[in-house]
Structure 1
Amino acid sequence: MSERILFADDDANFLEVMSFLLEEEGYPVRKAANGLEALECLQTDRFPLMITDLRMPGLDGQTLLAKARGLDPELLVIVITAFGDVPHAVAAMKAGAFDFLPKPCDREQFRLTVNRAMEHARLRRQVKALSQSGGSHGKTLIHVSDAMANLLARADRIAHSDAIVLIEGESGTGKELLARRIHEASPRAGGPFVAINCGALPHDLLESELFGHVKGAFTGAVQNRLGQFRQAEAGTLFLDEIAELPLDLQATLLRVLQERVLQPVGGDAPLPVDVRVLAASNHSLEEEVREGRFRQDLYYRLNVVPLRIPPLRERSEDIICLARHFLAVHSGGREWRIPREVASQLQAQPWPGNVRELENLCQRAALLSEEPVLNEEFISLPGPRAGDARITVAGVELPADGISLFELERAILLKALAMNQSNQSATARFLRIPRHILLHRMEKFGIGGRDQAP
C-alpha cells in the first residue's frame, strides 16, 4: 500500500488548495472531483487514508464512506463538513470515520489531523506485520520507538555468537522475550531454550536444579537428575533474576562459565557442558556488586554484552501500538478504536508494571467491553503510581488507646508486597531485609502468594 491519500471534494478550488498543503507535507494526493470518481479510485487502488466532503452530487460522503469501508475495512476516512452538517458528521463517526473537520478548515488543524491519521495507519500496518510474524499471542517485542529498534538491532548482531549476554530491565519489560529472540536468531536455535528463575527456588533446591544431582546425594534423591545446564545442552540457558543467586552458588556458576564443566551435587566426575548462557536482572548488578551482594568476578564474566530494556514510560510512542496488538490478541483479532483522549492518557501513565501491566489492562477491556472501543473506564489503573510509591513511617500519629504492633507490621508488609507486584525479591530489597527474613515474616503473618517473576 502506498502513502498516497485519496481526496474527494466537488469544490475544485478547495480541493486544489488543501491538496497542495498535503503535498507540502510529503503526501502524494489522488484527487477525485466527486463521490463516484472516488469510488472508482477505491475499486482499482488501495489507500491508507481518504478525505471526503459530506455533501457532493451523485454520491454523497456518507454513502461513499459506507461503500469505501465495504471495499477496504482498513481504510481511514476523514470527513469534511460545513458547520450546519455537524449531526451528519457525528453519524459518519459512528459509521467508522476516523475524524471530521469543519469547512472551511483551519490549515494547522487539517495538517495535524491528517498526520495523526497517517501515523495511525502506519502503526496498524506494523502491528499486523509483527503479529503475522509470530506474535499471535503477544509473545513478540512490538515497538515503533528508536530506543527499542536500536536495542533489537544490537541483540540481532550478537545473536550469532556464543557470547554471554546480560539483560537488565524493570519487571514486565520483556527480558525473557528478548532472550528467546536472541536464542531463535542464533546457531543454537535448533537446541532447547531453558529458563530458570533464580529467585523462585530455595537455596537447597537451586543447586540441584541448576547443576543436577546423583542418586543418594541427599535425602529424597532417589535417582540421578539432570540439572538445567544439562537440559539446555546444545541450546541456551536463561538465568532470570540472577542477582538472587546465593553467593556460594555464584562461585559455582563462575567456575562452570570459566571451565565449561560442571559437577552434579554428590557427583565425583566433572561433566562437560555446551550451553550458551543469557542472564537477566530487574535491577542493577553493578549496584549489587557495590553492596557486596554479588561477586565482582561473576559480574565481569556475565557482562560481556550488556543489553538494557527501557521501561515503558521511556518509550511512550510504543504504548498505542502495543495496546492495539494486545486488544486484538485478547479479542480474537478484532480491530479496536482508541479515542484520542484515551490514547493521551495511556501515554501519560507511568506504567510501573511496564508491558505486562498494559497487557493486563487490554485483556480486561477485551473481556468487559461490549464494543471494540477502549474507553476511559478501563484505564483507571489500580495500584501505586510512580509519585505515590512511599510509606510514611516518620511522624506517624499513634492512637491514644494503643495499636497492635502485629497488625501494623502485617499492614506494612502487605503494602510493600502490593507496591512491588508481589515480587518477593523486590519487596525484600524495598524493605532492606534478606529474602529469607521476608519469607519468615510472611509465614508468621499468614501472608501467602507465590513470587512473580519479572
Structure 2
Amino acid sequence: MMTPTDKNILIVDDEPPLRMLIRAVLESDGWNVHEAESGEQALQMLPGLSLNAALIDMRMDGMDGMTLLKELHGIVPGLPVIMLTAYGNVNAAVVAMKHGAFDYLTKPADNEELKAVMAKALDYSRLVDENERLKSAAGATEEMIGSTQVMRNVKELIEQAGPSEATILVLGESGTGKELVAEGLHKASLRADKPLIKVNCAALPGDLLESELFGYMKGAFTGAATNKPGRFQLASGGTLFLDEIGEMDPVLQAKILRALQEKVVEPLGSVSPVETDVRIIAATNRNLKEEVEKGTFREDLYYRLSVLEIRIPPLRERIGDLPALVAYLLEKLGRKNNKKVRSVSPAFLDVLSRYDWPGNVRELENVLERAIILSRSEVLGHELLPPQVQNHVAKTPAPAASATASETPAGKTPPAAASPSSLDDAERQALITALEANQHHRERTADALGISRRTLQYKLKKYGLTRR
C-alpha cells in the first residue's frame, strides 16, 4: 500500500530519447521514474513496483499499448494509465480511454501539460488507495460480533488507531478475542498488504522464544545448521503481534525494548544488528501495572507498549450481545460440523444469559459446538448444555425472583419466575440480568443491551419491571 509521499511512475516506450525527455520533466517534478522499452519488459518489472501511474506509448514493437493497458488493469486495478500517441492517432487514444485509460497525451508532450495530467493521475491514485484502505478498515471489525456500547467503543478505537504507527496494548481476559483485535488493527493499517506475524510468548521458554523472535546464525548453538530469520524479520514492513507478553522473561523484555527503541535486532550468533521495520501490537490477560509494581515487568517497556490501550470486555459485561454471538456461532459451527442448526430454545438462551462465562467467547463457542454435535434437532434445547453450565445456573438464585420482589408495584402479582418458555420470557430474563449487572442504572443497562433508553423504558413497562 502506498504512502502519501509516493510518486512512482512507469514509462513504457520503445524510443529512448523520448523516455529520457519525459524522465527529466517528471523527475524535476518529484516523481520516481521507472522505464521499460516494451510491454513485455513492463510486465516483468511490475511485481517489484508500487505504482501511482503509468505512461505508455500506443504503438510499440511487440505488445502494443492497448494490449498492455488491458494487462495492467488486470494486474493493478485502478492504476491510472496515460496513453502517448502521435497526433494522427488521437482517435485510437480516445478508444483506449473508453477501455479504461485515464487520459492521453500527444507527442511531443508539452511539459506543463504533462505535469498537469500527472498531478491529476496522482490525486486519483491516492483516492483509489484511500478508498481501499477505508474498505479494509470497515471490514477490520466484521468478525467482532456485538452492538453493545462497550463493543462499539472497541470497534471505534480499532478504526481510529489502525492507520497510525502507534504501538498498542490489548488487554482482556482469556477468550475475549484479543487476537481478533490485533487482526482488525492490522487490516485497518497502512501495512495491511504486508505480513501479520503472531507469536504466543507463553508457549515457548525464554531461550527458544528469543531465537524465534530474533532468529539465529548457523552454528549459534548445537543444532543450528542454517541461518534462520526471526519473527521480527519475517514481519518486516508489517505487524508483529506479541500475545501474552506478560509471561515474557525480564531478560528478553530488555531486548524487546531495544528493538522498539532502536528498530534493530541481533540474531543469535550474529555480530551485526539487523534493521527492522515492524509495528508492534502486544496483548495480555494480566494487569501489567501490577506486574510493574511487583518488579516482574519492566516499567520502561510497559510505557513503550501502552501508547494506546484497548480493553476487551469479558462476555459477562456484554450479555446483550449473546443473541447475536449465538446466531453467528451457530451458523459457523453448523457448517464446520455438517449439521443444520436453526436456533436455540428460549430456555437454552436463558441459561446462557445467567451463566458468568469465565472462559468468555471461547467457552461459549465450545459450549455451542458440543450442543450442535449432540443435537438431533434444528433447535438446540437446554438439556444439551454441559453439566458445569447447568449446575452453576441451578445454584444461582433466579434473577427473576429478586427483580419481582424489588420492582413489582405493591398489590400486584409478580410475574412467574419459572424458566422461560417463550421468546418474551427469554427477553424479560435478559432484561433482568442486564439490570442487575448494572445496578439498575437505566442508561448503563441500555448501553449494555445495545438499545436506546426509550426502548429500554418501553420494555421495562411491557414486562412489569418498572420501579415504584
TM-score, structure 2 normalization? 0.52
**In the TM superposition, what is the alpha-carbon distance from 1:327 to its structure 2 partner?**
1.0
Residues 338-396 of structure 1: CA distance to partner in whole angstroms, max 9, x if unpaired? 232322221111001100110111111222211121211122353896999xxxxxxxx
Trace 1:399-414 onto structure 2 (pairs within 5 A): none
Amino acid at match of 2:241: F
**Which residue of 2 is the match for residue 264 of structure 1?**
267
Change (3 A) 1:156 1:134: closer
Q: Which whole-Å CA distance do the structure 2 matches of 1:301 and 1:385 have between them?
A: 41
- In 1, the alpha carbon distance for the partners of 2:366 and 2:181 equals 20
Alignment counterpart, residue 228 of structure 2, candidates 225, 229, 240: 225
1:237 corresponds, among 235, 240, 243, to 240
SS in structure 2 of the partner of residue 382 of structure 1: helix
Deviations 1:109-150 (A, max 9, x none): xxxxxxxxxxxxxxxxxxxxxxxx799xxx921112110111
Deviating more after overlay: 324-333 vs 185-194: 324-333
Distance 1:337 1:282, change over 3 A: same
Equivalent in 200, 203, 211 of residue 200 of structure 1 = 203
Runs of 4+ in 1 over 4 A off after TM superposition: 383-388
Cα gap change, 1:179 to 1:372, in 2 (>3 Å)? same
Indicate if the aligned counterparts of 1:216 and 1:222 stay in contact, CA closer than 8 A.
yes
Aligned to 1:363: 369
The one of 327, 342, 359 equivalent to 1:353 is 359
| 1:378 and 2:384 correspond | yes
Q: Distance in 1 between matches of 2:160 and 2:264?
A: 27
- Find 1:251's aligned residue among 240, 247, 254: 254
CA distance in 2, matches of 1:267, 1:367: 52
**Structure 1 stretch displaced more, 361-370 or 338-347:** 338-347
Question: AA paired with 2:200?
Answer: N
What amino acid does structure 2 have at the position aligned with 1:203? G
SS in 2 for 1:331: helix
- SS state at 2:269 partner: coil
AA matched with 1:268 = V
Q: Secondary structure at the match of 1:274?
A: coil
Segments of structure 2 that go 5 or more residues without pairing to the other structure are 1-138, 396-468
Match of 2:293 in 1: 290
* Pairing partner for 2:160 from 153, 157, 160: 157
Aligned residue for 1:311?
314
Which residue number in structure 2 is paired with residue 450 of structure 1? none
The aligned runs of 1:439-454 (5 Å cut-off) are: none
Question: What displacement does 1:195 show?
Answer: 0.5
Identity %: 46
The 3-state SS of whatever aligns with 2:226 is coil
1:329 and 2:303 aligned: no
Q: Is the 8 A contact 2:341 2:377 kept in 1?
A: no
Q: Structure 1: where are the runs of 5+ without partners? A: 1-132, 389-454
- Structure 2 partner of 1:168: 171
One-letter amino acid matched to 1:338: V
> Counterpart of 2:148?
145
The answer to whether the 8 A contact 1:352-1:386 is kept is no
Find the residue that maps to 2:344 and give its secondary structure: coil
1:176 match: secondary structure = helix
C-alpha contact (below 8 Å) 1:192/1:234 kept by paired residues: yes
| Structure 2 CA distance for aligned equivalents of residues 325 and 202 of structure 1 | 36
Choose the corresponding residue for 1:338, options 338, 344, 353: 344
Q: Could you tell me the TM-score, scaled by structure 1's length? A: 0.53
SS of equivalent to 2:327? helix
Q: Report the alpha carbon displacement of residue 323 of structure 1 after superposing the two structures with TM.
A: 1.0
**Residues 295, 350 of structure 1: alpha-carbon distance in 2 compared, 3 angstrom cutoff:** same
DSSP 3-state at the match of 2:310: strand
What's the CA shift string for 1:393-434, capped at 9, x where partnerless?
xxxxxxxxxxxxxxxxxxxxxxxxxxxxxxxxxxxxxxxxxx
Q: Could you tell me which amino acid in structure 2 is paired with residue 158 of structure 1?
A: A
Letter in 1 for 2:347: E
Whole-Å Cα distance in 2 between the matches of residues 215 and 385 of structure 1?
55
Matched to 1:232, the amino acid is A
Following TM superposition, by how much is the alpha carbon of 1:334 offset from its aligned partner in structure 2, in angstroms? Answer: 4.3
Distance change >3 Å, CA 306–CA 387, structure 1 → 2: farther
Matching of residues 111-150 of structure 1 within 5 Å: 140-150=143-153
Question: What amino acid is aligned across from residue 199 of structure 1 in structure 2?
Answer: A
Question: How far has the Cα of 1:180 moved from its partner?
Answer: 0.4
The total of aligned residue pairs comes to 254
For residue 156 of structure 1, report the CA deviation from its aligned partner.
0.9
Q: Residues 233 and 274 of structure 1 are in contact (CA less than 8 Å); yes or no, is this contact kept in structure 2?
A: yes
1:164-185 CA-to-partner distances (Å, cap 9, x unmatched) read 0000100000000110011011
CA distance in 1 between counterparts of 2:340 and 2:192 reads 32
Instruction: Check conservation: 1:352, 1:385, Cα contact below 8 A.
Output: no
Residues of 2 paired with 1:144 and 1:227: CA distance? Answer: 39
Superposition map of 1:49-68 within 5 A: none
Q: Which residue matches 1:405?
A: none
Q: CA RMSD in A?
A: 2.3
Provide the residue aligned with 2:96 in structure 1: none
Q: Distance in 1 between matches of 2:394 and 2:209?
A: 37
Deviations 1:189-226 (A, max 9, x none): 10011100001001121110011111111111111110
- The AA in structure 2 aligned to 1:222 is A
Instruction: Judge conservation of contact 1:193–1:235 (CA < 8 Å) in 2.
Output: yes
Letter in 2 for 1:240: D
Q: Partner of 2:283: helix, strand, or coil?
A: strand
8 Å Cα contact 1:217/1:266 also seen in 2:
yes
Task: Quote the offset at 1:244 in angstroms.
Answer: 0.9
* C-alpha displacement of 1:337: 2.4
The 8 Å contact of residues 159 and 185 in structure 2, kept in 1 or not, is answered as: yes
Residues 1:241 and 1:184: Cα distance change in structure 2 (over 3 Å) = same
Query: Structure 1 residue 289: deviation in Å?
Result: 0.7
